[in-house]
Amino acid sequence: MKKTPNRRRTPLFEVRHSPIHGYGVFAARRIRKGTTIIEYLGDRVSHAQADARYEGKDPNDNHTFLFTVDAKIVIDAGVNGNEARYINHGCDPNCESTTANKRIFIEAIRTIQPGEELSYDYQIQRDGDDAPNVDEIFACCCGAKSCRGSMLEAAKKPRKLARRAPSRAAGNKGTTRKRVARRGGLAERSQRRGR
């Protein structure tokens, strides 16, 4: 019997349970460094709309499908989202999120072998008024040797005060940090308390 050639290639990835958290996305075949794997899709809403959608959520619940594009746009993959919403955070990731024309793409930053879980660094933004246990709430379970223990961006080291400029340092003290969305980071938590 004549064989029909299978022209359909195996999909790049599959969604299944993850040891990191809930569902994750796993390479179904080798993915070369530089490959654009998937676009992060979902409802495109304003920060205010995103806040309103998840207003009543427990502040200790860190789960989110929101992705900040810029200071105006948030993608809510909880509505009309695709598989990209299942990619977990990793502190030693094999992917990164990139922005092009206000669209978010997940790209391989190294060659990924079949079966490997895809991850990118969420780098969730810290705020001046974070709860003392914020790192506990956003604890990371990626399992990397270099895991920083948190899905939040690395805490900034306090700047050393210049010996000759004590007044300037004092002047900066207590300044309210402007909460501006970082491009390409997973949902900026600062604007979505109660998510």
Ligand X SMILES: C[S@@+](CC[C@H](N)C(=O)[O-])C[C@H]1O[C@@H](n2cnc3c(N)ncnc32)[C@H](O)[C@@H]1O
Judged by CB under 6 A, which stretch of 13-21, 95-103, 108-116, 162-170 contacts ligand X?
13-21
Judged by CB under 6 A, which stretch of 19-27, 31-39, 98-106, 125-133 contacts ligand X?
19-27
Closest approach of Cβ 160 to ligand X, in Å? 32
Q: Taking CB under 6 A as the criterion, which residues in 84-143 touch ligand X?
A: 85-86, 88-89, 140-142
User: What is the total count of residues that contact ligand X (CB under 6 A)?
Assistant: 18
How many C-beta atoms surround the C-beta of residue 153 within 10 A?
A: 15
63 binds ligand X (CB under 6 A): yes
DSSP secondary structure of 22-40: SEEEEESS-B-TT-EEEE-
Closest approach of Cβ 110 to ligand X, in Å? 18
Q: Which residues pair with 120 in a beta bridge?
A: 89
Which amino acid appears at position 4 of this protein? T
Query: Is the Cβ–Cβ distance between 151 and 121 less than 8 Å?
Result: no
60 versus 172: smaller Cβ distance to ligand X: 60
Alpha-carbon torsion angle 160, 164, 166, 171, nearest 10: -90
Q: Contact residues for Zn ion (CB under 5 A)?
A: 91, 140, 142, 147
